[in-house]
Amino acid sequence: MTYEELIYRMVSQAQRGSEVAERANLDAKAIAEAMIPAIFQAVAEAAAGNNRKRPLLRRTKTVAFTNGSATIPNDVLTNYLCDATLIDSSTLTKRYSWVNDYGEFIRTMDARLGSFNSPIESTLAIREPGVAYAVGSGLTGSRLLTVPCVPEIPILATDPVDVADVIASDLVSVGAEMLRGRLAEEAAATT
């Protein structure tokens, strides 16, 4: 489905059985479009909390490290980094594992595997295989991170919304419910 179709379906479902937006002369489509980032975030968080839907949100991101540290892209669901995989696309024999505890990450004794951790919410730290961790030094280069993410919002109205059907259905349902509430609020404010 295209972005335009998604908006149309949300508006249609939100207004089903009610003329609130029409009576208050509201532009439901514009209100829906303004709510899209919140809708996509809410659906992604709910889906990530479901073990069967979480894999449907996985995307591969190129993460650029400088001295062993990288900024996590904004659309990554950081609560699910423990489900992420990290690879070096130039040397596929390297293995990295997620280490949940930062203290354990910096003093890992078995250096056969590399590891990665998020010491603060927006930062990813990496330790290469066979290398001791040292603050302010480490890998400078890119790695591929596959992790659950918020679906991408298409740029053009005619662009497809690139999600699995079950996630698209959730976007419509959650979007319609959120829009219905917003339309009722806006209509009440105009009367």
Q: Where are the domains of the chain?
A: 3-53+164-190, 58-148
pLDDT digits (tens, 9 = 90+) for 9-31: 999 888 876 665 555 556 888 99
Q: Write down the pLDDT at residue 25.
A: 55
- DSSP, collapsed to helix, strand or coil, labels residue 18 as coil
Lowest-confidence pick of 41-55, 99-113, 163-177: 99-113
How far apart are the C-alpha atoms of 134 and 81, rounded to whole Å? 22
Q: Which residue has the higher pLDDT, 41 or 183?
A: 41
Q: Write down the pLDDT at residue 21.
A: 52
pLDDT digits (tens, 9 = 90+) for 155-165: 999 999 999 99
Q: How many residues does this entry show for the chain? A: 191
Q: 0.95 cut: is pTM over it?
A: no
What are 131's two structure tokens? 């290398």
* 137 φ/ψ angles, rounded to the nearest 5 degrees: -135, 165
How far apart are the C-alpha atoms of 75 and 37, rounded to whole Å? 10
What are 78's two structure tokens? 């950081």
Note whether 9 and 173 are within 8 A (CB): no
Q: Write down the pLDDT at residue 82.
A: 92
The dihedral through the CA atoms of 141, 144, 148, 150 has a sign that is: positive
Q: Write down the pLDDT at residue 169.
A: 96
For range 178-185, the mean pLDDT: 86
Percent of the chain at pLDDT above 70?
A: 93
Q: Write down the pLDDT at residue 1.
A: 93
